[in-house]
Amino acid sequence: MLDQTSFVVDGLMVEGPDGARLCASVCDGCGTVYFPRPVSCRNPECSSKALQDRLLEGRGTLYSFTIQRYQPPALFRIDNWAPYALGLVELPEGIRVMGMLSGFDLDTIRIGERVKLVSECLFTDPERGRVMTYKFAPDISGRAPR
Ligand SMILES: [Zn+2]
């Protein structure tokens, strides 16, 4: 096994000194925030299409969720599959991002919980090593206002 890691999709996230962050874009003209990053602004009323890269806040609030109780079909690769929660998380930038939840008891997840971004291994591959993705985990430090 190679001693390396990669992300499941290039350019999706970075692992920085203050933790995992999602790579987004913000439009110069209308301020719309996009994740994942599109080629240009999709706002039909926007005359500027120029996007700047921006790292999103690593913390947010669980807006909604569902429990995935069957194994997703091929193309989606995951080692040691077990039922998991898929969350829709509202970030301070005003966008909602979908991602797997990690570290929750599936029977006690509640909308409105504070979550933080983490990176975890999705599967290991002989050529790519540990292939990482982002997930949202309970934010224990998030109980107090930032
Ligand atoms: Zn725009």
Q: What whole-number distance in Å separates Cα of residue 48 and Cα of residue 90? A: 26
In angstroms, rounded to a whole number, what is the distance separating the alpha carbons of residues 79 and 25? Answer: 31
User: Is the separation of the CB atoms in 23 and 14 below 8 Å?
Assistant: yes
pTM of this structure: 0.86
**Domain spans, the chain:** 5-143
Choice among 2-11, 20-29, 131-140 with the minimum mean pLDDT = 2-11
Mean pLDDT value across residues 113-124: 94
Ligand 1 centroid–CA 53 distance in Å is 13
Architecture of the 5-143 domain: Beta Barrel (2.40)
More confident residue, 66 or 11: 66
> 92 C-alpha vs ligand 1 centroid, how far in Å?
19
Whether residue 42 contacts residue 95, with contact meaning beta carbons closer than 8 Å, is answered with no
* Cα 52 to middle of ligand 1, angstroms: 11
| Cα–Cα distance for residue pair 46/30, rounded to 1 Å | 6
CA dist 22 and 17 (Å) reads: 14
